[in-house]
Amino acid sequence: MIGTGYVGLVSGACFADLGNTVYCVDKDKKKIEILNNGKVPIYEPGLNEIVKKNFLSGRLVFTSDLEKAVKNSDIIFICVGTPSSKKKRSADLSYVFMAAKQISKFINKFKIIVTKSTVPVTTGDKIEKIILKKRSKKFFEIVSNPEFLREGEAIRDFRFPDRIVVGSNNKKISKKLEALYEPLIKKGANFFSTNRRGAEMIKYASNAFLATKISYINEIANLCEKTDVNIEDVSIGMGLDKRIGGRFLRPGPAYGGSCFPKDTKALTITGDLYKTDLSIIKSVIKSNSKRKIILINRVKKILSNKIKNKKIAILGVTFKPNTDDMRESTSLVAIPYLHTLGAKINYYDPSGFKKEFSKFKNVVYCKNMNDACLKVDLIIIHTEWDEFKSIDFKKISKNKKIKVYDMRNLYSSKKMNNLGINYYSIGR
Ligand SMILES: NC(=O)c1ccc[n+]([C@@H]2O[C@H](COP(=O)([O-])OP(=O)(O)OC[C@H]3O[C@@H](n4cnc5c(N)ncnc54)[C@H](O)[C@@H]3O)[C@@H](O)[C@H]2O)c1
């Protein structure tokens, strides 16, 4: 595995758990040192145990020595980041191309080189060209095997994936990948093979579709708030239609995380490059940025536009529960904005302190929910971590007039109103 981040580490540990010998390589020496000291640098439920077990068995090796890893491996997965490029919003492929260049120097026998990173269609062709500068075609094959795991559920998603997609222009190589994944296929995972460009496209098209579903239900929630309709009933009623399906129909903050925002943008840039207007995805991106403003305006309204010196507790700042990933979380926009308006913010997240907020004077990290909520004017539930699901708001805040803005609809409006809590939620 070249790149030992969320994808490389989870996949590497899980492949080792299936009996393979795996070298997890990272250029970040500190990360490798942490792993070699028996610690895991990211928060992902269940990962510690798998890493520990396989590290101790010797099947899982952490190293910065890319040469040793490449020379000793038959299959090499590129799992480096593909963030949005600073200027163009397209995918920044510099890490992928750098990894390809480095791999090409150490190909000592036939290698299957697999792109697990999310890369725009035709990237496989470009990687092939880079490697051809050092090695002839008989020494390698480039394959696309996009990753669909979800942070927070990554181990389960690796072990029981809905589908495994492999894109190769060579049938024999597809079969080799199928053999690698055989233990998962035997347990019921669908294996789907197509050509290389097809697999690259499937990943982007899937992420953009899921982002569309979230933005769609968020906009319908906006309308429900104005028409006195309960969005939850709408989601259930819609989801019962098998053509639609109930998942990803829960309204909340703007979609965030390390994938949807960058992948939707990158796909529209690919569309533009090929003179194809992906107008639906473009409007999803717009809708999602507007969402952040809509929710902040709602906070202003809840506090009657008097934000200065108001004490606000924010519960959960990651973009979703069971991860420490802060990339593109709505909290990164909302907290600085409320701070600028003069709010005093306590935040608590089960995954710990976030360096992203350390520069704001009146944004304080609290070690637990009780400290965060003490005597605040408003509690905002931003991320649906389990521990936020049965809070005694009056007790925890010691404020009889506590206001609660539940951005995840974790509580019943009726019950909250009966308790005399000023309760606001999404689309209800
Ligand atoms: N995070 C997810 O939930 C998820 C899910 C599916 C797909 N993906 C895709 O997988 C890819 C990786 O995502 P991630 O979240 O794991 O990224 P990440 O930023 O957590 O990890 C990438 C790692 O690669 C390392 N790296 C970069 N260049 C290197 C090189 N030349 N040699 C060795 N190491 C190198 C970095 O130091 C970093 O540790 C992205 O393309 C992403 O879109 C991510």
Compute, in angstroms, the gap from residue 234 CA to the centroid of ligand 1: 37
Within a 10 A sphere around the Cβ of 172, how many other Cβ atoms? 8
Per residue in 60-116, pLDDT tens? 999 999 999 999 999 999 999 999 998 878 999 999 999 999 999 999 999 999 999
**Terminal-to-terminal C-alpha distance of the chain:** 46
Q: Residue 88 has what pLDDT?
A: 78
Residues 251-289 as b/e (b if ≥16 CB within 10 A, e otherwise) read bbbbbbbbbbbbbbbbbbbbbeeeeeebeebbebbebbe
Kindly give the pairing relationship between strand 140-144 and strand 378-381.
unpaired
Q: How far is the CA of 92 from the centre of ligand 1 (A)?
A: 12
Cα 204 to Cα 198: distance, rounded to the nearest angstrom? 10
Q: Is the CB of 379 under 6 A from ligand 1?
A: no
What pLDDT score was predicted for residue 127?
98
Q: Phi, psi at residue 171, to the nearest 5°?
A: -60, -35
Give the helix/strand (H/E) hosting 424. Answer: strand 422-424
pLDDT for the residue numbered 4: 98
Pick the atom of ligand 1 nearest to 8's CA. Answer: 16
Report which DSSP code applies to 356. Answer: G
Average pLDDT, the chain: 97
Residue-level pLDDT at 399: 84
**CA 67 / ligand 1 centre spacing (Å):** 19
Cα–Cα distance, 77 to 2 (Å, whole number): 6
Condensed to tens digits (0 to 9), the pLDDT of residues 10-38 reads 999 999 999 999 999 999 999 999 999 99
- Whether 102 lines ligand 1, by a CB cut-off of 6 Å, is yes
Paired with 78 in beta bridges are 2, 115
- To the nearest 10°, report the CA torsion of 333, 336, 339, 343: 30
2 CA distance to ligand 1 centroid (A)?
A: 9
Could you report the per-residue pLDDT of 370-393, keeping only the tens digit for each? Answer: 999 999 999 999 999 999 999 999
Residue identifier of the C-alpha nearest atom 17 of ligand 1: 81
**CB–CB of 408/384 below 8 Å?**
yes
The pTM of the full predicted model, rounded to 2 decimals, is 0.96
* CB half-sphere exposure, 359, CA atoms < 13 A: 4
Q: Is 118 in the pocket of ligand 1 (CB under 6 A)?
A: yes
Going by the DSSP 8-state scheme, the letter that residue 62 receives in this structure is E
- Kindly state the tokens that stand for 195: 């050509």
> pLDDT by residue (tens digit) across 105-149?
999 999 999 999 999 999 999 999 999 999 999 999 999 999 999
- Count of all residues that appear for the chain in the document: 428
Q: Which residue type is seen at 331? A: S
Backbone angles phi, psi at 403, to 5 degrees: -110, 140
CA distance 338 to 321: 22
Q: Determine the distance separating the centroid of ligand 1 and the alpha carbon of 96, expressed in angstroms.
A: 9
Q: What is the pLDDT of residues 166-212, one digit of tens each?
A: 999 999 999 999 999 999 999 999 999 999 999 999 999 999 999 99
* DSSP conformation letters of 131-182: HHTTS-GGGEEEEE------TTSHHHHHHS-SEEEEE-S-HHHHHHHHHHTH
C-alpha 215 – ligand 1 centre gap (Å): 26
Amino acid of residue 116: K
Rounded Cα gap, residues 361 and 176, in angstroms = 55
Q: What is residue 17's predicted lDDT score, i.e. its pLDDT? A: 98
Residue from 32, 80, 85, 98 to probe ligand 1 pocket by mutation (most atoms less than 8 Å from CB): 80
Percent of the chain with pLDDT over 70: 100
With a 6 Å cutoff on the Cβ, whether 155 touches ligand 1 is no
The span from the CA of 209 to the CA of 148, in Å, is: 13
Q: Ligand 1 in contact with 2 (CB < 6 A)? A: yes
pLDDT of residue 412: 96
Ligand 1 within 6 A of 266 CB?
A: no
What whole-number distance in Å separates Cα of residue 272 and Cα of residue 260?
18
Which residue CA neighbors atom 35 of ligand 1 most closely? 3
Ligand 1, atom 21, lies closest to the CA of 5
With a 6 Å cutoff on the Cβ, whether 328 touches ligand 1 is: no
- Tell whether the torsion through CA atoms of 382, 387, 389 and 395 is positive or negative: negative
Average pLDDT over residues 352-370: 97
Question: Nearest 5°: CA angle at 287, between 285 and 289?
Answer: 70
List the catalytic residues: 259
d(CA 232, CA 217): 10
Tell me, what's the pLDDT at 86? 82
Pick from 252, 304, 256, 288: which is nearest to 426 by CA? 252
Please name which of 261, 385, 282, 263 lies closest in space to residue 329, comparing C-alpha atoms: 261
Say whether pLDDT at 305 is over 90: yes
Place of tokens 């689309």: 427
Q: Any idea what the Cα angle at residue 239 is, between residues 234 and 242, rounded to 5°?
A: 150
- Alpha-carbon 164 to chain mean position: 18
201 CB within 6 A, ligand 1:
no
**Ligand 1 in contact with 233 (CB < 6 A)?**
no
